[in-house]
Amino acid sequence: MVEDCSAINKDAFGTKPHKKYPVVLRTVVLSLVMISSVYICSICIKQKGFIINPNVMRVEVKDQPCRRPSIPSSEFPYIHYPDPTTYNRNECACTPVRFFALLSMQRSGSGWLETLLNSHINISSNGEIFSVKERRSNISTIIATLDKVYNLDWYSSASKNECTGAVGFKWMLNQGLMQNHEGMVEYFKKRGVTPIFLFRKNLLRRWVSVLANAHDRDSKQLNGTHKAHVHSRHEADVLASYKPNIDVTKLFLDINHTIKWNADAIRFFNNTRHIVLYYEDIVLNRTKVVDVLDFLRMPHRELKSQHVKIHTRPLPDQIENWKEVSQSLKGTKFESFLHSD
Ligand SMILES: *[C@@H]1O[C@H](CO)[C@@H](O)[C@H](O)[C@H]1NC(C)=O
Ligand SMILES: *[C@@H]1O[C@H](CO)[C@@H](O)[C@H](O)[C@H]1NC(C)=O
Ligand SMILES: *[C@@H]1O[C@H](CO)[C@@H](O)[C@H](O)[C@H]1NC(C)=O
Ligand SMILES: *[C@@H]1O[C@H](CO)[C@@H](O)[C@H](O)[C@H]1NC(C)=O
Ligand SMILES: *[C@@H]1O[C@H](CO)[C@@H](O)[C@H](O)[C@H]1NC(C)=O
Ligand SMILES: *[C@@H]1O[C@H](CO)[C@@H](O)[C@H](O)[C@H]1NC(C)=O
């Protein structure tokens, strides 16, 4: 760009005025040439600035009225001032909003973590919105859905609407996320969405939970309704009374698949600002959830959930064919799943 500019200038000024033109005409032509070259150069410079730093340009132009001096510039890519189409943010129009996505796999504690986050006055996590197949049918429907969520136009029981400080939702890796990972990484980077990964370390326990949940979906043990999460010890005990008979081949397939997907997901989103949590770590140390508040730059508060853990007993009491399962895992790199808890 700059080279082009100077080429034009050189040509313009290098052209010698012809003797037979009158002085006035020469001056007029020279002035015109000077004005237009200044104009062309200013366009060049503008475009160069724009190409070098498109993000800064965009943020500054759009969000200038709400910029607070207390927010460091390194945070600018992650703060937003959405303008919902369906309502007005009123006195919170200048409350900055952070975008997150809780990325996880089924039966890894994400329902629990989400209720903890939603008990915070400033956080809205809108649930498993891509469990509805039409919303994930292709990248266009996914992006339209995301745009609605991050524009604070999504309604759910978790919406705190105009005064939300952090907005997101829960997304299982197998709900169109891994199939569309390239587009999603691009979207997350462009819009400053920060992933919160939540994985489970003990993939044998996860599989027990998957099987028990699938069983309850069919048998509806709690007064004829299926419950994926429960709020009382009694209900938890009813669901935990089912002891699955585990097909060892399927168990290994699931463990391998889950390990691969979790690693791939972290790798794909490696260059986004993110945090990785493990269910077991949070169960052992509830204070770990504070790390999420710090990550989202939200004030510390006590977080509460009504969820009651379903499977609390030792694994041998929860697997029908324990002997077979334990023998097949012994001596493999997954042996620790048998003991750790
Ligand atoms: C995406 O899916 C929606 C709904 O299923 C459909 O209406 C739309 O045409 C699809 N778009 C593309 C680009 O495939
Ligand atoms: C949290 O919510 C309260 C009440 O709506 C609001 O006054 C405060 O500014 C919010 N804080 C953040 C960090 O969003
Ligand atoms: C079924 O419903 C009855 C009455 O509504 C309640 O007392 C009972 O605890 C429920 N049973 C289970 C397993 O949730
Ligand atoms: C799972 O991975 C292990 C090694 O990581 C391999 O030995 C085993 O054959 C795999 N099992 C299946 C069912 O893919
Ligand atoms: C993340 O990406 C960077 C550069 O793209 C690479 O150097 C680094 O090894 C990656 N880290 C992981 C954990 O994949
Ligand atoms: C619990 O987690 C918090 C936050 O990560 C950490 O600061 C603290 O040291 C942990 N406590 C224990 C006992 O591990």
pLDDT per residue over 87-135, tens digit each?
888 888 888 999 999 999 999 999 999 999 999 999 999 999 999 999 9
Best mutation site among 68, 81, 95 for ligand 2 pocket (most ligand atoms within 8 Å of CB): 95
Instruction: Tell me: pLDDT of 1 over 70.
Output: no
Picking from 91-95, 145-149, 161-165, which range would have the lowest pLDDT averaged per residue?
161-165
Q: Name the CATH code of domain 74-339 (choices 3.40.470.10, 2.60.120.260, 3.40.50.300, 3.40.720.10).
A: 3.40.50.300
State residue 61's pLDDT score. Answer: 41
For ligand 6, is residue 285 a contact (CB within 6 Å)? yes
Q: Whose CA is nearest to atom 4 of ligand 6?
A: 288
d(CA 248, CA 157): 40
State residue 21's pLDDT score. Answer: 60
Other CB atoms within 10 A of residue 12 CB: 15
For ligand 6, is residue 291 a contact (CB within 6 Å)? yes
For ligand 2, is residue 165 a contact (CB within 6 Å)? yes
For ligand 1, is residue 134 a contact (CB within 6 Å)? yes
Domain segments of the chain as ranges: 2-52, 74-339
SS3 192: coil
Distance of CA 298 from the midpoint of ligand 6 (Å): 18
pLDDT per residue over 11-32, tens digit each?
444 344 455 566 777 777 677 7
Q: Kindly give, in sequence order, each residue whose CB lies less than 8 Å from that of residue 308, ignoring residues fewer than 6 positions away.
A: 230, 231, 232, 233, 235, 236
